[in-house]
Amino acid sequence: MSVGRRVLVAGGGGFIGGHLARHLLAQGHEVTVADVKPLEEWYQALDGADNLVLDLERPEACEQAADGVDVIYNLACNMGGMGFITANRALCMNSVLINTNLLKVARDAAVEQYFYASSACVYPDYRQQDAEVTALKESDAYPAMPEDGYGWEKLFSERMCRHYLEDFGMDTRVFRFHNVYGPYGTWDGGREKAPAAICRKVIEAQENGSYEVEVWGDGLQTRSFMYVDDCITGIDLLMQSDCQDPLNLGRSEFVTINELVDTVADIAGVEVKRRHNLSAPQGVRGRNSDNTEILEKLGWEPQIDLRTGLEATYEWIKEQYERRKAGDSVVQ
């Protein structure tokens, strides 16, 4: 984008949205951030942005948030780790209201570009039943059988973007995020994803002297994890491109959850025992990103290796943990 555009980051009080809003401000854009959470619960409430506390499931809130903007980034949704999305399918589905309302507002206001943050959860379970996973291509989303609740919401919202492009000529862009992690994200309370949860558990295991970490499942399930800086770079490149089809955005490197635990423990400089909880939510058996299309269309793929990203993430979560222990108020 040319410098000085007026942009809305919907869901900017959350993890990825907060990083994106900071990046757009640094680029010289005029940034409005909207999120349903109270301002004190935002991970990054940024000076220089117009920070609005709004329920974007309501049409009038979307109209207020998008007033006068040139570009909309929609990262707003109800989501969390596997424990949260399996227990809150209806709540996750409600997020279709956000994307529908924002698309209607964007069409009526002739917004120049519209970005939608989708997820690898759109991919069918029947393609993800083996830990020795075959990397998921964009075309693998159909025939559809996505993650129940959250995955269906994401796939439906992708289709909405497609039809607004086809029917109204809106310039819509879609990325399917694969397990984004990093600082300034949820790390406790039930919505955290695996990298943050494991970092916290290793810290807790040292604190309580058990040196034991609970792992959901047998730990042999495989995933790819992408550091948040790569996510922001990818969004930038997509918005500068002419690609209007959904693309994967994730690392092609994948690991088992057991290996994830071992990496975090090594960063912490300790050895931990793994206690496997086979009754806990585990999600699909294996998931990885096929990056053929993003390389062809953007000439780039996520670059930051897991160890490097986890080092920064662990240190930030450790700092937050110590601050909470000392009685400080922290967003978790």
Residues forming the active site: 150
Instruction: For residue 270, give every residue at least 6 positions away whose Cβ sits within 8 Å of its Cβ, in sequence order, or none.
Output: 202, 205, 206, 211
The token pair that represents 319 in the structure block: 């700092």
Give CA–CA dist 214/223, Å, rounded.
18
Structure-block tokens of residue 225: 């994890």
Handedness of CA 267, 268, 271, 275 (dihedral sign): negative
Do the strands 30-35 and 6-10 form a parallel or antiparallel pair, or are they unpaired?
parallel
Find out whether 221 and 174 touch, Cβ atoms under 8 Å: no
Round to whole Å and give the CA distance between 160 and 154: 10
What helix, strand, coil percent values describe the chain, rounded to 5?
A: 45, 15, 40
Residue 223 DSSP label: E
